Amino acid sequence: MIKRIDNFKNKTRRIKVCIFVLFVALIFRLGYIQIISHSKIDRMVSRLIARVDVEEAKRGDILDANGRVFATSVRRYILFLDAKKISNFHAVKRLLKENKINLKQNSLQELDGKSYIPVADNLSEEIVERIRKASLSGIGFESKYTRQYPEGRMASPVLGIIGTNSKGLSGIEQEFEKYLAGTDVPVKQTRDGMGTILHEKIIDRSKINGLPVQLTIDMNIQFIAERELRKAFLASRAKNAVCIVQNPKTGEILAMVSLPDFSPYEKIKDTALLRNYAISDMFEPGSTFKIVAIAAALNENKITPNDYFFLENGVMKIGNHKINDDHLIEGSASVETIMAMSSNIGLVKIAQKLGRNLFYKYIRKFGFYSLSDIDLPGEARGSLSDIRQGDSFYLPAVSFGQGMSVTAIQITNAFSVIANGGVLMKPILIKSIGGNQYSQEYGQKEIRRVITPETAAQMREMLKAAVDKGTGKQAKVPGYSVGGKTGTAQKYDVSTKQYSKHFYISSFAGMIPAQNPEVVIFVLFDEPKENYYASSISAPVFRNIARQIAAYLNIPRDEK
């Protein structure tokens, strides 16, 4: 009995010793945790309940002149599964199927216990809300902004695209990146005991989102120009085609079309499609350039519209070069007839009266061999050798648009000089940024006076005659006076070092109404396979576009 009591006391003593040792160890452990490891544990807990996330800025919209949306950013969602939190796999699979989301796995085991399994992306708010209402565990969402273009490929070379990093790669998206992009900001988040994310502060999205950029392009005019140009482009099997519609009084671009274009939703394999041919491609202008020499000679009082020039019966020799007229005019012809019938020989004689120095001066004054400073990336300046230093044939060749190169926007601007009374305006694409009308940097700007109002009026009268009685008859619009000029230019073949007999640039530049123009329209086809004469392809497209624009803008008729 005594022995049992001693054994019990020994066991009790050992238990007390063990409890004491454990208690001391616990005290030391707590002391270690609270004093020595406090900062380390605090950091671990912070990572579990708090994190810094990035609040993504919404990219600014691109709008047309009337506020209609060309490009916008919408919030879309990525749906992912957390296998560790799924309690009812079949219910999850059924819910996703009801929302047209296919889950390849047929069992929870196939998810391999992963905590992040992307299942679908580009989901709308509506679908996400339906799935959330089901309150099934293991389904999570991540949000992002995606760029959308409601009008599809309309004006795509002008608008441009953004890359996978949401940065602009071309067009307006690139040129106005600093306004459109906005500013992503870091945001500290914490989780409550239930795991719900709590933002430490509310973000004022008006301060981080990108600004809307409103263009001068009118979506209705853009649609008209694209539709008519595309029909002829496909029918002619041309290499490229361009149309620019400009308000000559302000310089505003109302439409700009470059074909072939692209869909912003398709993977672009050929980056050349991103080029905007209206500003980046150079070409020999041919007869549309004849306005420069005639306007300059008139402005310098070297000629009058009624002066006559002998046209050498259609053939003129300068050194070893021969100049021909496609439209034979016997004897002599007035300056107006020379313009109307597009006589190369007549232009040579007018340019010779003008002289090398003055001709070169006016070429530059009209804006050629200079950047127009349009608000788009990738503009070319054209090419022009100094005709003051060239050989005896260079001035004659340039007078009718050979031996130099221009861009479509330069030709459009030159015709706008004549249309608006002799003043060269900066071509503008921006109506407002962030709602501020015409910021100082991007607003209307008069560059310089090129010719007098009187010379401009004389030129408009002669361009009207070119449509009424000359090579531009197919550009005539019923009920309206039209002024304009055709241009059919042979392309220079670098391989043969000669002008090709098979490849042409066909263009027409014109204005409506002729004496008080509201719009200037330039149409160009590069290497049309059939009907390459500008009078057959470019002038009719001008007519179709001008007729519809005149009706849309309610331009008063000025002819019966």
Domain encompassing residue 301:
219-552
> How many whole angstroms separate alpha carbon 105 and alpha carbon 87?
15
Q: Which of 188, 215, 242 is the last residue of a domain?
A: 215
Report pLDDT for 403.
87
Quick one: 5 exposed, middle or buried, by C-beta within 10 A (0-12, 13-18, 19+)? Answer: exposed
Q: Give yes or no: residues 240 and 381 share one domain.
A: yes
Question: How many structural domains does the chain have?
Answer: 2
Residue 521 lies in a domain: yes
CA Rg value for the chain: 36
Residue 388 lies in a domain: yes
What CATH number did the domain enclosing 195 receive? 3.90.1310.10
Q: Give yes or no: residues 225 and 208 share one domain.
A: no
Residue 141 lies in a domain: yes
Q: Which of 215, 246, 280 is the last residue of a domain?
A: 215
Contact 300, 355 (CB under 8 A): no
Residue 42 lies in a domain: no
Residue 92 lies in a domain: yes
How far are the Cα atoms of 14, 75, 205 from residue 184, in angstroms, in the given order?
A: 65, 15, 10
- 96-124 burial, b at 16+ Cβ within 10 Å, e below that, comes to beeeeeebeeeebeebeeeeebebbeebe
Q: Give yes or no: residues 321 and 456 share one domain.
A: yes
State which residues of the chain have pLDDT below 50: 45, 48-49, 191-196
Residue 33 lies in a domain: no
Q: Give yes or no: residues 407 and 322 share one domain.
A: yes
Q: Which of 171, 196, 215 is the last residue of a domain?
A: 215
Residue 324 lies in a domain: yes
Q: Give yes or no: residues 133 and 246 share one domain.
A: no
What CATH number did the domain enclosing 477 receive? 3.40.710.10
Q: Give yes or no: residues 270 and 180 share one domain.
A: no
Report pLDDT for 396.
86
Residue 5 lies in a domain: no
Q: Give yes or no: residues 314 and 417 share one domain.
A: yes
> How many whole angstroms separate alpha carbon 202 and alpha carbon 442?
34
Report pLDDT for 391.
61
**188 alpha carbon, distance to own chain's centre:** 37
Q: To which H or E segment does residue 231 belong? A: helix 219-236
Q: Give yes or no: residues 281 and 198 share one domain.
A: no
Q: Give yes or no: residues 174 and 233 share one domain.
A: no
How far are the Cα atoms of 257, 264, 364 from residue 222, in angstroms, in the given order?
A: 7, 17, 30
**Which pLDDT tens digit goes with each residue over 156-200?**
999 999 998 889 999 999 999 999 998 876 666 554 444 445 555
Amino acid at 458: Q
Q: Give yes or no: residues 289 and 419 share one domain.
A: yes
> How many whole angstroms separate alpha carbon 96 and alpha carbon 267?
28
Which two tokens mark 74? 């919408």
Q: Give yes or no: residues 353 and 275 share one domain.
A: yes
Which DSSP state fits 166? Answer: S
Which two tokens mark 457? 């009026």
Q: Give yes or no: residues 175 and 264 share one domain.
A: no
**Which pLDDT tens digit goes with each residue over 10-23?**
666 666 666 766 66
Whole-structure pTM value: 0.85
Torsion over CA: 197, 199, 202, 204 (sign) = negative
Report pLDDT for 31.
60
**Which pLDDT tens digit goes with each residue over 245-293?**
999 999 999 999 999 999 999 888 888 889 999 999 999 999 999 999 9
